[in-house]
DNA sequence: TTGTAGGCGTTATCAG
DNA sequence: CTGATAACGCCTACAA
């Protein structure tokens, strides 16, 4: 069982190419790794011709074993179909490919235990990942995690208080700030908050910043309304808020929740933005097509992914720069879900 | 530059473990690969203890080189943040992990040339992928592609006329059928169609089936309105349709387009579903929170991903079954965007 | 510019 | 049930 190859015999190796081209295996290696100045053009041409004829391709595992470098970037993601994960992934892939790296993923269930994370980490290390992007809310403080991140460079895609030294990650507190200030500047006297899944570090960061922003203006924050990123949870939150006549402004931690929230508000006879203003976070593709179109704080997911990968690659290669790291500032996009409170 | 390891010295190897446990390397190998009956429990325990103490982990590249099996599944995806890609990915990952496989991805830009696909395929083969999931609309008919798929088992996640022998992929024609029949059964006299990006095989399949379904009932299909999956394109299509008073039913090829479509219709003073009914495809998380909630044909993306991966693994291992392949029938979800035409 | 020797960490094979 | 030995395909180091 488990046949080694699927059709015919074994794949052509460096030696096969060398023989056909009439050179040594080493020369083939040099040509494949593209060191221009070390092989005579004519020789290179012969090698390339042989490569082509045989359909030779470098065996990554062998190369990795011999060189000690895998050029593999690991990504730990949670098994969800959330827009953000996908967009982040696109950015990571892109930066990796641009630098000759390959991306290997390890998924963990949503709300997984820290053992599950460690396990994913281990799987990635076993595959030879030289760096790992943490797309999940892992506690980096545990001893087990510490030994791992010490051994294999790792990075987050968002900035949290856990690693404030990640200058190229999105500042979650700034996001809350942008949302709250916008609402307050519009004239609302307070802002309610529908939080994201508390399992995620971002949720707390935003909640704290929301509270802080309110207090700074001398406002006592109303109770937090829990959510979990999903439109369903937003809907539930909306039903709660609909029963609070004094609530005129809400900061929801994700666009998807805003969709649910607004639906609930409408069903309860409260219109948006006339009766209550809503600002959310993410700016997913559909945000502009909600009814009303969502005012939201955009997170540049793709750029965040690129930034995380580049950061990692720079660390792996010990360089300071691997191309310009993209800007990842959050940005308030004003559309139709916010307005001044009714006079 | 390019240090081989990042902290201290080299990682512990099989031999280190063997020495510590007082056994041969081969025994360590046996224990690691979990062949229960071939090692005495007591010996295994000693080995495991050594493994634990040293923090040993199998070096995948070395194992792959020696065994000829990488247990890597490749996935070619297009760089988009579409919900479907993410959900598909989740399913693939899941099935792969459950069977001890690792997933490596190669992204190609949307609308990439076939060279770009071949390139992605090659990258994956170089990494040692034993099977490849094609999450992109590749032409499988070219000679270049044929040699590759012959060498490395590959599969699609959707069923198309190109490979009608994929019984576990979603039947795109059935999707269109479900949509059109629902609308016609409601009493509409014809159904307009907003197509998906023609770059994708699904688009054509659905368009054809839509046409067929109409003709079967003696209806001449109206002209197709082009789209590209995005809400923006749906919006544009909506403006067109709004100017056709006789249009009372629309089949849009994606939920995202339906969002844009409905927005345009509303802006033109035509209400949904009173004036025009809309059914779309996918049933993304937000479909239920559109205004009105979308009647849509659900594609079980996660199950599709799982099915594709399982299919592939079965082929790789030459087995007939690797656990039950999930059902991937599309399903009509009736919500509020469809109704009988006005009397 | 090119070639030779040696070894990377693991598994297959065969012997005991 | 356990061990010795020989690959696996490539790259580093050094020699020519």
Domain edges within chain B: 3-66, 70-167+301-317, 172-298
* pLDDT exceeds 90 at position B217: yes
What is residue B158's three-state secondary structure?
Answer: strand
The verdict on a CB contact (< 8 Å) between B59 and A128 is: yes
B19 CB less than 7 Å from any atom of strand C: no
Q: How far is it, in rounded angstroms, from Cα A206 to Cα A204? A: 5
**Are the beta carbons of B103 and A105 closer than 8 angstroms?**
yes
Domain pair B70-167+301-317 / B172-298, same fold: yes
The residue-averaged pLDDT of B235-240 equals 98
Pick the CATH number of A172-298 from 3.40.50.2300, 3.40.630.30, 3.40.50.12240, 3.30.300.30: 3.40.50.2300
> CA–CA separation, A24 vs A47, rounded Å?
10
CB A256 within 8 A of CB B285: yes
pLDDT for res A160: 53
Residues 54-113 of A with CB under 8 A from B: 55, 57-62, 64-65, 68-70, 72, 79-83, 85-87, 89-90, 93-94, 97, 102-107
Share above pLDDT 70 across residues of chain A, in percent, rounded to a whole number? 92
**Average pLDDT score over residue span B244-259:** 97
User: Which pLDDT score is estimated for A219?
Assistant: 97
Q: Report residues 44-73 of B contacting strand C, contact meaning Cβ closer than 7 Å.
A: 56-59, 62-63, 65-67
Higher pLDDT, A167 or A69: A69
Q: Which residues of B touch A286 (CB under 8 A)?
A: 231, 256, 259, 286
Alpha-carbon span A304 to B124, nearest angstrom: 25
What pLDDT, on a 0 to 100 scale, did the predictor assign at position A17? 92
pLDDT at B5: 38
Inform me whether the pLDDT recorded for A3 exceeds 50: no
CA–CA separation, A321 vs A94, rounded Å? 16
Is 80 exceeded by the pLDDT of residue B146? yes
Q: Which of B58, B103, B106 is facing A126, going by the closest CB pair? A: B58
| Whole-number Å distance between alpha carbons of B281 and B261 | 13
* Closest chain A C-alpha to B69 CA, distance in angstroms: 7
pLDDT (average), residues B31-44: 82
Mean pLDDT score of chain A: 89
What fold characterizes domain A70-167+301-317? Rossmann fold (3.40.50)
- For residue B267, pLDDT over 60 is answered with yes
- Cα distance from N-terminal residue to C-terminal residue, chain B: 77
The reply to whether A6 Cβ lies less than 7 angstroms from strand D is no
pTM attached to this predicted model: 0.91
pLDDT in tens, A263-300: 999 999 999 999 999 999 999 999 999 999 999 999 99
d(CA B308, CA A74): 23
Which member of A3, A60, A104 has the closest CB to residue B103? A104
Please name the residue ranges forming H helices in chain A. 14-21, 25-32, 41-54, 60-67, 83-98, 114-126, 143-151, 172-185, 201-216, 231-242, 255-267, 301-317
Mean pLDDT of B137-159: 82
Would you tell me which residues 262-301 of chain A have a C-beta closer than 8 angstroms to some C-beta of chain B? 263, 266, 285-286, 288-291, 301
Residue of least CA–C1' distance to D2: B27
Q: Inspect the interface and report whether the beta carbons of B60 and A127 lie closer than 8 Å.
A: yes
Compute φ and ψ for A78, nearest 5 degrees: -100, 145
Q: Which residues pair with A331 in a beta bridge?
A: A298
Q: Which CATH architecture has domain B3-66?
A: Orthogonal Bundle (1.10)
B79 closest CB neighbour out of A62, A93, A153: A93
| C-alpha span between B46 and B39 (Å, rounded) | 11
Answer yes or no: is pLDDT of A1 > 60.
Answer: no
Please check the confidence at residue B144 and state whether its pLDDT lies above 50.
yes
Conformational region of residue A323, where left means phi above 0, alpha means psi within -120 to 50, and beta covers everything else: left
């Amino acid at each position: 069982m488990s046949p080694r190859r699927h059709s015919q015999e074994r794949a052509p190796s460096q030696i096969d190419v060398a023989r056909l081209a009439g050179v040594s295996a080493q020369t083939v290696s040099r040509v494949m790794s593209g060191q221009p100045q070390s092989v005579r053009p004519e020789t290179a041409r012969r090698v390339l011709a042989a490569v082509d004829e045989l359909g030779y391709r470098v065996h990554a595992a062998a190369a990795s074993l011999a060189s000690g470098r895998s050029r593999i970037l690991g990504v730990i993601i949670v098994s969800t179909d959330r827009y953000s994960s996908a967009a982040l992934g696109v950015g990571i892939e892109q930066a990796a490919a641009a630098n000759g790296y390959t991306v290997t993923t390890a998924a963990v269930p949503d709300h997984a235990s820290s053992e599950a994370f460690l396990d994913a980490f281990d799987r990635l290390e076993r595959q030879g990942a030289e760096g790992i992007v943490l797309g999940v809310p892992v506690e980096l403080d545990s001893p087990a995690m510490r030994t791992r991140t010490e051994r294999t460079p790792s990075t987050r895609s968002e900035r949290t208080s856990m690693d404030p030294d990640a200058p190229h990650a999105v500042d979650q507190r700034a996001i809350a700030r942008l949302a709250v200030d916008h609402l307050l500047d519009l004239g609302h006297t307070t802002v309610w908050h529908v939080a994201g899944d508390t399992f995620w570090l971002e949720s707390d960061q935003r909640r704290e910043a929301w509270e802080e922003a309110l207090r700074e203006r001398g406002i006592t924050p109303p109770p937090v309304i829990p959510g979990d990123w999903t439109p369903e949870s937003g809907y539930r939150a909306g039903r709660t808020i609909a029963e609070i006549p004094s609530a005129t402004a809400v900061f929801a931690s994700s666009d998807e929740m805003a969709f649910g929230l607004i639906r609930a508000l409408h069903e309860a006879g409260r219109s948006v933005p006339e009766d209550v203003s809503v600002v959310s976070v993410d700016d997913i593709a559909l945000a502009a097509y909600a009814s009303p179109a969502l005012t939201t704080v955009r997170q540049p997911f793709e750029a965040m992914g690129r930034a995380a990968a580049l950061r990692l690659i720079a660390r792996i290669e010990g360089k300071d720069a691997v191309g310009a790291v993209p800007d990842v500032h959050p940005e308030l996009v004003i559309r139709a879900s916010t307005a001044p409170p009714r006079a």
